[in-house]
Structure 1
Amino acid sequence: MNIGAIRLSSPISDSDFQQAYARADLSRQRKIDAYLHREDKERSLVGDMLTRLMLFRQFGYVSLKVPFTADRFGKPYLESQSGIHFNISHAGDWIVSAVDSSPIGIDVERIRSIDMAVANHYFSDAEQERLKAVPPENKLSYFFDLWTLKESYIKAIGKGLNEPLRLFTIDLSVNEIKLISTKKKDAAWKFRQYEIDRAYKLSICAANDSFPNQVTEVVWDELLTFYMEER
């Protein structure tokens, strides 16, 4: 398993953007072109770039022209590569990507003020009760712990929001993160959280527990150099 993160705290220069855009596959270029805002175009391009770097480091996979395909639930994958799995997420300044030989999901969120009534729609009864018991000063942090862990799970199984979030529970009451569900196979999923920034939450859900000790932070110049190299 390999997990990468890049922080884009300032816009990418036009020169760098155009260079990287020209190297992207046609499918990615069309997705980038469909966005109206420059920051969304950058996230789409950089998410692709970061994932390909992580795939190279994990599997030696280097083709930049093979597009990432999305299934009917929107989960990206590589055709004819059943042993390669990856997932991407972005929020605020951060873009993250996780790759593994088994299904995997990743979610990053910026901790921000939110109407706690949202929990009534997306959290199970058990999660709501535990959230209510958390001291006020820790409520936001706990909310986003739950949110990112639940998101990482539904991204790992490839169902997106087609899997109702209220139908399963993330249990944080013990030392390990547990998924409580009516589906027996769900007991096999593993979770881990990493701190890349105190203002963010980052959670991973994976089919195995080969989690790295830390997230690999990549800087823009390093990523661009990799992406522009001839292979």
Structure 2
Amino acid sequence: MIKLYLMKISGLEPDDIKWKKHVSPKRYEKMLSYRQKKDRALSLGVELLLNAALQELYPGIRCPVAYVEDENGKPYLPDYPAIYFNLSHAEEYAACALSDAALGVDIEYCADIDGDIARSYFTGQEYEYICGKPESKRLEAFYDLWVLKESYMKACGVGFRLALDAFCLQMGDRITLLQDGQIQPCSFFLTQFENYKLAVCYQGDEDASITPIFCEPQNLYLTPLQKFINIHWLV
């Protein structure tokens, strides 16, 4: 079971006090520390998604939950060790993925970049993969690799402590990952919407069908009936 939730934070008012009860005190204080409104909305949005998802999937869990980070900075729920989650955000989108197995999620806005970044940080094989694309497709190929690699690093729980060129992605009908000469038992979901790339890496070697769930801020924490009324009352 893998669930992926997305929210466009342009519709989120982070300074509305009503959100305080829906996130942990630690997150709320962290959110307030950001000077830019967009950064406050992104920080708030990822945990709003987490708690809304937990309430939907595990109604017996009391939210907001308090989560901690391990020695490598990976967040987890100490009271619910069988529930795995990961958070990411970029520009105008917050993302939250939940599963019953270890996973990582990464979302990136596809801004123009210097091609030497790929040469410096990716493996030679990955760099050749990008260069083998038509020039108009190279930026897309770069971000495919970037979100896939970062999702794996987050799923492993080490983040950028694992160098980007310490493992290699082999792109094809099925994406495989080689580390220390061995194919790793992980699978990937990769998608694009608007000008964003998003990847989920999860434990296991079976493909999972993931349908991103786009959430509107005003519909978070409403009952199914309230959501129906909120969406359809003008019809």
Is this a same-fold pair by TM over 0.5?
Answer: yes
- SS state of the match for residue 190, structure 2? strand
Match of 2:170 in 1: 171
Shift of 1:114: 0.3
- CA–CA distance in 1 between the matches of 2:60 and 2:178? 35
Secondary structure, in 3 states, of the residue corresponding to 2:78? coil
Please, which runs of 5 or more residues in structure 1 have no aligned partner? none
* 8 Å contact kept, 1:47–1:88: yes
Across the aligned residues of Structure 1 and Structure 2, the Cα RMSD in angstroms comes to 2.0
- How does 1:113-192 map onto structure 2 within 5 Å? 113-172=112-171, 174-182=172-180, 184=182, 187-192=184-189
Mapped to 1, the partners of 2:109 and 2:95 lie a distance apart of: 13
In structure 2, the partner of 1:63 is: 62
Q: CA deviation at 1:45?
A: 1.3
In the other structure, the counterpart of 1:19 is 18
Question: Against the structure 1 CA distance between its residues 61 and 126, is the aligned structure 2 distance closer, same or farther, given a 3 Å change threshold?
Answer: farther
- Kindly indicate whether the alpha-carbon contact (under 8 Å) linking 1:58 and 1:100 is maintained by their aligned counterparts in 2: no
| TM norm structure 2 | 0.87
Per-residue CA deviations over 1:67-117 (Å, capped at 9, x if unaligned) read 121222221111132101000111111111100011000011111100111
Q: Compared with structure 1, are the counterparts of its residues 54 and 65 closer, same or farther at alpha carbon in structure 2 (3 Å cutoff)?
A: closer
In structure 1, the partner of 2:229 is: none
Contact residue 3 and residue 212 of structure 1 kept, 8 A: no
Q: Deviations over 1:154-187 (max 9, x none)?
A: 0000101000110111111x20111111164x52
**Distance of 2:199 and 2:187 partners within structure 1:** 11
- In the alignment, the residues of structure 1 paired with residue 53 and residue 97 of structure 2 have an alpha-carbon distance, to the nearest angstrom, of 7
- Is 1:220 aligned to residue 217 of structure 2? yes
Confirm or deny that 1:3 pairs with 2:4. Answer: yes
Identity of aligned residues (%): 27
Partners of 1:83 and 1:22 in 2: how far apart?
A: 25
Alignment partner of 1:205 is 2:206: no
Equivalent-residue separation in structure 2 for 1:59 and 1:211 (angstroms)? 21
Partners of 1:135 and 1:191 lie apart in 2 by 24
Aligned length: 222
Secondary structure of 1:121's counterpart equals helix
Structure 2 gaps of 5+ residues are: 227-235
Does 1:35 pair with 2:34?
yes
Q: Is the 8 A contact 2:9 2:41 kept in 1?
A: no
Residues 1:129 and 1:23: Cα distance change in structure 2 (over 3 Å):
closer
2:207 & 2:127 partners in 1: Cα distance?
30
Give, as a single letter, the amino acid of the residue that structure 1 aligns with 2:71: R
The secondary structure found in structure 2 opposite 1:225 is coil
Hey, what does 2:191 align to over in structure 1? 194
- 2:233 aligns with none
**TM-score normalised per structure 1:** 0.88
Shift of 1:211: 2.8
SS at match of 2:131: helix
Give the deviation of 1:224 after TM superposition.
5.0
Deviation for aligned residue 1:64 = 2.2
| AA partner of residue 179 (structure 1) | L
* Aligned partners of 1:2 and 1:212 also within 8 Å: no
Using the TM superposition, give the Cα deviation of residue 11 of structure 1 relative to its aligned residue in structure 2, in angstroms. Answer: 5.0
Q: Distance in 1 between matches of 2:129 and 2:140?
A: 13
